[in-house]
Structure 1
Amino acid sequence: MAPEDHEGATSLLQSFERRFLAARALPSFPWQSLEEKLREPSGSELLLAILQKTVKHPVCVQHLPSVKYARCFLSKLIKKVNDGQWLPGPGHIGEHRGPQLCQHEAVPTEPLDALYEALAEVLMAKESSQCHRSYLLPSGDSVTLSESTAIVSHGTTGLVTWDAALYLAEWAIKNPAAFTDRTVLELGSGAGLTGLAICKACYPRAFIFSDCHGQVLEQLRGNVLLNGFSLELYTPTDPSSPKVTVADLDWDEVTAAQLSAFQADVVIAADVLYCGEVTLSLVRVLKMLSACQRMNAPVVYVAYTIRSQDTGKLFITELERAGIYWEEVPPHAGQLFPYEEHSAIVILKLVLNGCHSVGR
């Protein structure tokens, strides 16, 4: 295989691996590139490799995504192979099913048989209201989350991971110095992706996850434990492991004394600007943090997806009214996580001590 062909196959495998483990929408997979690669002599090897990088991946075997999702993925993969006539189906060894096979008569049947076997195993599995999404880190470690299979469940959207959380986690991994050996408070942690990525890749001294919905907090605690962290305890054998806590924090009811007790050096929030009422509550919390930690105010990073022209406008207006300095963090190059590439995501850096001019 030529170096450029090998590089292309590696990139394709990585794309399938990351998207499948994160249970991204099937249309977002690079199916056309796969079709082109399957026409090459190494197509059978590639198909088997994709199987090992997806449903047979060690992370997936331990923490399966939605059964329905895995079934749909395998069905689509089998259909692509059959429609393209690149490989003989079960029981068709030696039978030429298309012009491509005439060029490579010795194409084995094992890849398609393996796909059917994997599909049969998935069909026997029981569906659950919870599924797993896993995100691979540059270190080779991963963050695995248990999430609701419904976007809105138990009256909240906090049971799933949104793109801005992935984008902020990605930025944090590329800028670990902003979090290393610091106490980090996350507002509206949701499923916990951003915080867990920071805990694993940026070595904070302590990390406080927070949310206010009972079901979200229960799932959040479970995800912290799922990823090997002990709640409210240091790991004595690993000094790099942060102290991790999960706090019930209602933005409309929290007091200055409660916020001050966290003694946060850094505050983060992702995809929490989804309505005006919540935006105003967030600014209230930020103003309180500025007042109660005036001599040592934390640096704040807020990430959000621009879904309309109004997204973020109210937030910026209220920041300026509160005298909070803000600046937009420059976009970072390279994508570690499989969020939608066309999404317009912004990270704002806020300084709460009120001694700077307002605006950029």
Structure 2
Amino acid sequence: MSSTPRCHVLSLDFQDLDVIWNVRLFYLAAGYSLLRERVDSDPELLVVLRGDPGLSHQTYGGTVHIYDYVKELQVDWRSRFPHAREIRLISLLRPAVLPEGVRWVQGYLPVIPEFWQQLPFRKRAGRPLHIANFKPMGDDPYQRDLALLARRGLVDVHGSHWDKIGLSTHGLSYLEANRRLAGAYCCYGLMYPYQRGTTLSGRMWQAPLHGCLVISEKGTNPFGLPGLLEVERFDPDTLLSVVSIRECWQIQREATRYWQEATGQLARQLDLPAYRGPSAVHLARCRRDRRAQHRSVVWSRQLHRLGNWLTPPPISCWWRRRQRMVRGLGRLLGADARQASGSTNR
């Protein structure tokens, strides 16, 4: 067995890369080596981030850390890992039913402030942000208010599927999203109704780490996180919730201190005494992954736009456009011919 304990991260779709980067840095800083793929011999630790792994790990006999931050599934974790030496379930609230042999740890997720924060600290005047995909949750009053503000040009919305309600938007890479949060004074949060008050969304820690106030739904901050403002409605009165860069700087300092202490406390609760924060080498590796994800998103967006440009519209529009191009080319050639013959056109 290797002298360095090994850790393997499980996720149903590896969709939440911000979570994955934080978790990787957390366990690397705790002295683990990360396995990208399963190997013949079991690692000492399995980390489950989201989704149900099914029955594919019935023989695993090591330690399991399960982060219940999505709140979408109710899983009998002991049946998924019947031979695990220890199973720890990390969530902000104690589950209503805790299977025998599963230990609850109160916490959220590890958050590494130095990986996300942008330098230098500066703000640009502009509209509040909302960075998230459109959520299919019916006639939710908060999403309805947010859509109304966006249609009036009062909120800058980014994300996919907002075209369903008539807004032209596109998704951002994590690097783009954090750059925009770093330049904004405030942003709007929006969670699924079943998540409100039971877990946190990514913007609730990302935005305050950049000194950006999160305006969120009533009842979504029972844990007292810094940089969150609960409101009854999303309306224009909340647009000026932060008016000075000094307030933004204070939000960033409080959020940085909070998440450093919370992450250190989580390490102690999980019996990871070697945790001292990520090294410069580990930070650089994850930053390379973040830049790679940024390039992939940008290239995909550009290819999509190019495909739309190359795809011809209905034949009538296509023909009229070609006619205008031919007429313009004819005028250009005619002007060149007149210039060559010495004529003028006054």
- The two structures have a TM-score, normalised by structure 2, of 0.31
User: Which structure has the higher relative contact order (CA within 8 Å, separation 6+)?
Assistant: 2
- The two structures have a TM-score, normalised by structure 1, of 0.30
Larger Rg: 2
